[in-house]
Structure 1
Amino acid sequence: MNRNDTTARIAHVFSGTLMHSTPRAAVEILHNCVLGVDDKGKIAFIENHRDVVSLSEKWGFETSDIKQLGQYEFLMPGMVDTHIHASQYSYTGTALDLPLLEWLNTYTFPVEAKYKDLDFANNVYTKVVRRTLKNGTTTACYFATIHTDASLVLGELADRFGQRALVGKVCMDCNSAVPQYKESPSECKEETDRFIKELLKKEYTNVKPVVTPRFAPSCSSSLLSELGEIAKNNKLHVQSHISENKEEVELVKTLFPGCRSYTDVYLKHNLLTERTVMAHGCHLTDEELELFRETGSAISHCPNSNISICSGMLNVRNVLNHKVKLGLGTDVAGGYSPSMLDAMRRTLDTSKALTIQDPQHKTLSFEEVFRLATLGGSEALSLDDQIGNFVVGKDFDALRVNICVPDGPIDLFPGEAPKVILEKFLNLGDDRNITEVYVAGRQVVPFPDK
């Protein structure tokens, strides 16, 4: 698996156990491996440790520079949060007592209106980027707010701390209970154009804009059409929400009577593309899932939020059976945890609850959920040619995991195999076990002192 181009300088070399997913294997464990990362942040080689001397001669690194992983350490791909509201982080862990539409008007819109204050925005956005990176989120698909300048601050912070991010300036022109928290269609188009232009002008390597209609109930048909055109003309990602709870689905029927379904609303406005990710999808029909498959659009499964505000339970197995791309999302702050480990655990809980309701339902395995949080997330964001697993030529987005950190949350016992260690980390681990985080070859955690 060596790369033909050996002119690049090697920046990192790791030796030990690698755990990742492939399209064929939900978990593949590579023992006694040597992995090299070049100075462009790409994986240069993955070989057996017995070849380390010849590798060092070929690639020009010193064997003394190798980072040796311990017996209870491993590398895994960075986790991909396909749906998170950075602007809601300030009230994470609270305000989970109302259903979706009341929740938005009572808590979300009043808080998001505060982001016209750039000091407030900088404070919250700094904390959410640092917190998610510490918890192993190397890629985040962020909702910001309607405020262009504050949304640009989020992009700047993601770049500064080294997180790979899609950042969306929220677009909404109707149905807000907070009068100051919406824009006219013309304002929204102008500010979205400005946001995209300004963010692209920064030329951040790993931070890009994403077209972000909040969801169909808060957008007029004309605005949705404008956003569809903007996404097409700029070849950008699209993110929004769909079929989160039943009341919302019924509201969409009344607001868009000419559309056959919630999915049809986005389809008719050219917002379902192979770069689209839609959060939730709890109440999508099989016919709607077929439209997702045909367009190449993806679903972000947000189980913590779905349960916390009693929206519904997505049948992930059914989505996968329809061959629809699917990743996991924390959906802060509807979801009370910014950790993708929590998203994996809640995904398993939801799948088991569906099996309790219907014994014929095939419960997801922890291996499948591991894939959804890594390779699946990269597929959902159409970034799987760059990230998601350990393949020569891909960017090195990775976590160094240590099961035996001092005073950590996991106890080990003699004879436990690597897959058992992985399962324990997914079920019991936390940010203490994630000792190093890399994005495109750059070590971003621990954070530099400055």
Structure 2
Amino acid sequence: MTVDTKPTFTIYYGTFVNPVSISDLEYVVTGAIGVNDKSGTIEFVERNVSSVDQVLADKASLLVQYTVNVISNTDKQASFFFPGFFDTHIHAPQYPNCGIFGKSTLLDWLETYTFPLESSLSNIDKAKFVYNKVIDRTLRSGTTTASYYATVHVGATKALADVALERGQRAFVGRVCMTQNSPDYYCDASEEAAQAADLEVIDYVTGLDPTRERVAPILTPRFAPSCTPATMKWMGQVMHERDLACQTHLSENVKEIAWVKELFPENDSYTDVYDKAGILGKRTILAHCVHLSDTEVATIKARGSGISHCPTSNSSITSGEAPMRRYLDAGVKCSLGTDLSGGYAPSVLEVARQALLVSRHVAMKSSRGDADKLSVAEVLCLGTIGGAQVCEMADQLGSFEVGKKWDAQLIDLEVENSPVDVFEWQEPRIGEGGEDLNRLENLVAKWLFGGDDRNVSRVWVDGRQVIGSK
């Protein structure tokens, strides 16, 4: 018996929707994307093709060296390939508390719900159980890359990195640093202990994936009130010495901002606290940013840092409405975060939906009116290419382009028990030109406003299918 030892190559044929900038989606009714399965890299993107046979013929000189597989979505009229989502702000240990926040706002919510739950994950078996649950749920919701906050515990943070790598999700994994103004039962023993713990986690995660392409360490000062100036300054030094990403919270809540002013009276603003510590850089993710001054926005732009917009959380715990159009117009990198469990949903699609609605509430109260609204295309771009830009990975991820990785989801609006009803006259039909594209654009809008994880048929990370039937 002859065994075919050729490497494999997959052609994804059919309809795809592609973010081409932070504000524009490309709609392709019939196209083909070729992926080298070994590297997970896109090697060609073809638009307006008539058949798979045409693609095979046109690419014969390339494909002769491979065993070729074809995955097509043309059997479904209301189906399309879409890049995987980025969740740039998510607290993995808080997943069990999704939807639990009562009438609280940020600071009392932390004391009442968050710190007790996070502290209980010192039990590594419990932590692994929770982390498997949250990674499974986010993958099933189309999230292929997530930036995770873990807990203060070294062992449990290592476990989160292990689970992410095992389950196939790209992940930044950070041990939460808390060296002051934290509960006695849940904080670092000292600044020196926090530094040693961070270095141990950084070395462990780097050992799991020295390329940092699949899992990578990320420095994680919880927020300015919970970290001493010396701790943050040390993080700034390590961040630059080891070329690390950083994530923290910024200007989420009015009372929090006032507290920061009391704690750091010598600083001009909340943003200035981080800037003086040296932790604002091109790979710094700043979650929330609901209440920023123009000076703070300018500083964030100048440092190349990015914002993670968390509208479900900001609404749920009454933090406010972030003016995202203002930040985008200023040229700041912006993305979306679920912020579990301040946010009630593990789905970036839900966050995109809420980002659009929050922008309309901002517009209703603004003298700028409609100019402050975000569009369907913009919020979906924030959840894909925007996340890649904030994580400084836009050369690798976030859209379907030659040389990028095949991190993707197959959306099916006609799946059994779909929350979205698509009528026959709304389905794109090959060969109808502009009408085709209009129908596809409308399908994407129906998905944004009505879809959920039931519509995610398959998910791939790095060219490997991690969700869905083969």
Q: TM-score, normalised by structure 1?
A: 0.95
Q: Which amino acid aligns with 2:444?
A: L
**What CA distance in whole angstroms lies between the structure 1 residues aligned with 2:169 and 2:228?**
33
Match of 1:275 among 283, 306, 315: 283
1:124 maps to 2:130: yes
Task: State the Cα distance separating 1:65 from its structure 2 match.
Answer: 3.1
Aligned to 1:5: none
> Which residue does the alignment assign to 2:170?
164
> Which letter maps to 1:52?
V
SS at match of 1:277: strand
Q: Is the 8 A contact 1:10 1:60 kept in 2?
A: no
Q: How does 1:94-243 map to 2 (within 5 A)?
A: 94-203=100-209, 205-243=213-251
Task: Pick the aligned partner of 1:375 from 385, 391, 394.
Answer: 385
TM-score (norm 2): 0.91
8 Å contact kept, 2:304–2:332: yes
Secondary structure, aligned partner of 1:11: strand
Counterpart of 1:59 in structure 2 is: 62
Q: CA deviation at 1:94?
A: 1.1
Which 4+ runs in 1 deviate beyond 6 A? 61-64
Secondary structure of 2:121's aligned partner: helix
Q: Out of 382, 386, 408, which is 2:396 matched to?
A: 386
Distance 1:307 1:184, change over 3 A: same
* Cross-structure match for 1:27: 25
- 3-state SS in 2 of match to 1:54: helix
Match of 1:301 among 297, 301, 309: 309
- The equivalent of 2:465 in structure 1 is 443
For 1:366 and 1:12, how far apart are their aligned partners in 2?
A: 30
Q: Mark the CA change 1:341 to 1:96 in structure 2 (over 3 Å): closer, same or farther.
A: farther
User: Residues 411 and 456 of structure 2 are in contact (CA less than 8 Å); yes or no, is this contact kept in structure 1?
Assistant: yes
Question: Structure 1 26/299 Cα, relative in aligned 2: closer, same or farther at 3 Å?
Answer: same
Shift of 1:30: 1.9
Between the aligned partners of 1:339 and 1:237, the Cα distance in structure 2 is: 23
What aligned pairs does 1:36-75 form with structure 2 within 5 A after superposition? 36-38=34-36, 39-48=38-47, 49-50=49-50, 51-60=54-63, 65-70=69-74, 71-75=77-81
Cα distance, 1:109 vs structure 2? 1.0
Instruction: State the 1:178 CA deviation.
Output: 4.1
Query: Which of the numbers 346, 360, 366 marks the counterpart of 2:376?
Result: 366
Match of 1:423 in 2: 445
Once the two structures are superposed, the pairs formed by residues 385-404 of structure 1 within 5 Å of their partners are 385-404=395-414
Distance in structure 2 (CA, Å) of the matches to 1:300 and 1:218: 20
Cα distance in 1 for residues equivalent to 2:24 and 2:251: 28
Give the Cα–Cα distance (whole angstroms) in 2 for the partners of residues 386 and 89 of structure 1.
Answer: 29
Cα distance, 1:41 vs. partner?
0.1
1:335 partnered with 2:343: yes
1:18 corresponding residue in structure 2: 16
In structure 2, what is the Cα distance between the partners aligned to 1:107 and 1:436? 34
Please provide the CA RMSD for this pair: 1.7
Match of 1:253 among 261, 265, 273: 261
In 2, Cα distance between equivalents of 1:280 and 1:365: 20
Contact 1:81 1:141 survives alignment (8 Å): yes
Q: Secondary structure at the match of 1:415?
A: helix
Q: How many residues align?
A: 441
Greater mean alpha carbon deviation, residues 337-346 or residues 181-190: 181-190
Q: Spell out, residue by residue over 1:143-180, the C-alpha distance to the aligned partner (whole angstroms, 9 max, x if none).
A: 00111110010011111110011010000111113434
Distance, in Å, in 1 between the alignment partners of 2:364 and 2:67 is 53
The AA in structure 2 aligned to 1:206 is R
Partner residue in 2 for 1:4:
none
* Maintained 8 Å contact 1:52/1:63: no
Gapped runs of 5+ residues in structure 2? 1-5, 427-438
**Structure 1 residue 381: deviation in Å?**
1.0
Q: In structure 2, what is the Cα distance between the partners aligned to 1:63 and 1:183?
A: 56
> Which whole-Å deviations, capped at 9, do the CAs of 1:96-155 have from their partners, x for residues lacking one?
421111111111111111121101101100100000000000000000011111001001
AA of the residue aligned to 1:202: L
